[in-house]
Structure 1
Amino acid sequence: MYVLKDNFATFAEGFLGTLQLTIYASALALVLGFLMASFRVAPVGSLRVFGTVWVTVLRNTPLTLLFFAVLLGLPRFGLVLPFQVFAILALGCYTSAFICEALRSGINTVPKGQGEAARSLGMTFNQTLSVVVLPQAFRSVIPPVGSTLIALAKNSAIAGAFSVTELLGTYKTLSELGYNIVWTFFWIAIGYLIITLTISAIFNLLEKRWGVPG
């Protein structure tokens, strides 16, 4: 019962670690997801192929395997970075594939005639995508993108198995100290709830302001 009060610093460190992983990996996932979605609808064949391969490989690769590939594989090629950075790369790249598909689905909801009209006015592909298509697609992709980032926050728990400080990993330390494992996991769950409910609240506000009317 007193596990939180007696070990608040340990829980706080793990909570902040998970929060950092979530924020930085989400930013990376959104940037890469947007880029890959742009590639997948680009008029250049090589870009479409690259985007398709990116999404296909990452969506069908277990996240744990991707962690092994990034955290243990990249250093063998001379790329040595803090494990937290490697974890952000693994989480961000993996989640970007799902963000890409959500954005692409939103892009497909925009009538093709609008893109054709924009091109007839002399707009380039980039201008058409950024000025005409994406602002409309954004309205329909808010819920799935929010759900994907919530999944990212929960997936960050895998990082603890690779010596990265995060919330779930605190149970090992507290278990060794003899604290009740049930109460330990209870407070860990509360920490994840705080993060995921915050993400949900943010996207609910975005949906109320810019989402497609129900």
Structure 2
Amino acid sequence: MNLDFTQIVPYIPFILEGIWVTLKFVSMSIIAGFILGILLALCKITKVPFLKRLADVYTSIFRGTPLILQLMIIYFAVPQLTGYDIPEFLTAVLAFGLNSAAYVSEIIRAGILAVDKGQTEAAEALGVPYKPMMLNIILPQAIKNILPALMNEFITLTKESAIVSTIGYLDLMRRAQIVGADIYRNFEPLLLAGFIYWVMVYVMTQIGKVVERKLRYSD
């Protein structure tokens, strides 16, 4: 086999730097997607028809179109309309955050609806306002039940983050491609990038298991 990993040794620090670059925008996207997802989920279960319809349309659009198309629209098409060039980092956070919110909203909505209705009825009987009831009673129980699904969404987001290389963002994948073009060997740097992605996903999976275990024992 024509393999020579010694050639990528000088480039390893450059590739490893991509871990931080990748995690930086992924973590921001997760936070943005989680917060927006909660708001969308609340809109979907509200009794206000306009908000419910708006949330449903949002989810339909972002779940029904490819993530890479959304990324391209924000990076290439929006500047055409606004005359403002959106930086790669902001583009990545917007595209992944908005896309993730659509999936997170459905996960959280299902979690909220799965909470025993008796919890809501008891809170209403005690005169607890809607906002405190949702924040302090319903949402904590819902998130505890849907944590595995949320972790799967965040893991998927981390893996799909590689597509930001298509807009020139210097993430882990893009750096591996640059090294491959520089040394005219693609297998070695791409294999190293794949291994790093696997490690990141493995660590996230273990963290999710620990959090899930602690929440389960806290009952």
Report the TM range for the smaller structure's normalisation.
Answer: over 0.9
Aligned residues: 213
The alpha carbon displacement at 1:149 in A equals 0.3
Normalized against structure 1, the TM-score is what?
0.92
Is 1:27 matched up with 2:31?
Answer: yes
Normalized against structure 2, the TM-score is what?
0.90
Is 1:92 matched up with 2:97?
Answer: yes
Structure 2: distance between partners of 1:124 and 1:72: 45
Q: 1:180 aligns with which of 185, 195, 199?
A: 185
Once the two structures are superposed, what CA deviation does each residue of 1:99-129 show, in whole Å capped at 9, x if it has no partner? Answer: 1111111111111222122122222221221
Q: 1:104 aligns with which of 98, 109, 112?
A: 109
Once the two structures are superposed, what CA deviation does each residue of 1:62-92 show, in whole Å capped at 9, x if it has no partner? Answer: 1011011111122222443311111110011
Once the two structures are superposed, what CA deviation does each residue of 1:169-207 show, in whole Å capped at 9, x if it has no partner? Answer: 123322222253222111101111122112112211110
2:179–2:189 contact (8 Å) kept in structure 1: yes
Is 1:6 matched up with 2:10?
Answer: yes
Structure 2: which 5+ runs fail to align? Answer: none
Structure 2: distance between partners of 1:170 and 1:81: 21
2:153 partner letter = T
Q: 1:191 aligns with which of 151, 174, 196?
A: 196
The alpha carbon displacement at 1:148 in A equals 0.3
Q: 1:120 aligns with which of 121, 125, 147?
A: 125
Structure 1: which 5+ runs fail to align? Answer: none
Structure 2: distance between partners of 1:55 and 1:157: 23
2:43–2:52 contact (8 Å) kept in structure 1: yes
1:59–1:97 contact (8 Å) kept in structure 2: yes
2:31 partner letter = A
Q: Which residue of 2 aligns with 1:42?
A: 46
Report percent identity of matched pairs: 25
Q: 2:19 aligns with which of 4, 10, 15?
A: 15
Structure 2: distance between partners of 1:83 and 1:49: 32
The alpha carbon displacement at 1:11 in A equals 0.2
Once the two structures are superposed, what CA deviation does each residue of 1:132-177 show, in whole Å capped at 9, x if it has no partner? Answer: 2111111111100000000001111110000111111123322222
SS at match of 1:51: helix
The alpha carbon displacement at 1:12 in A equals 2.1
Q: Which residue of 1 aligns with 2:75?
A: 71
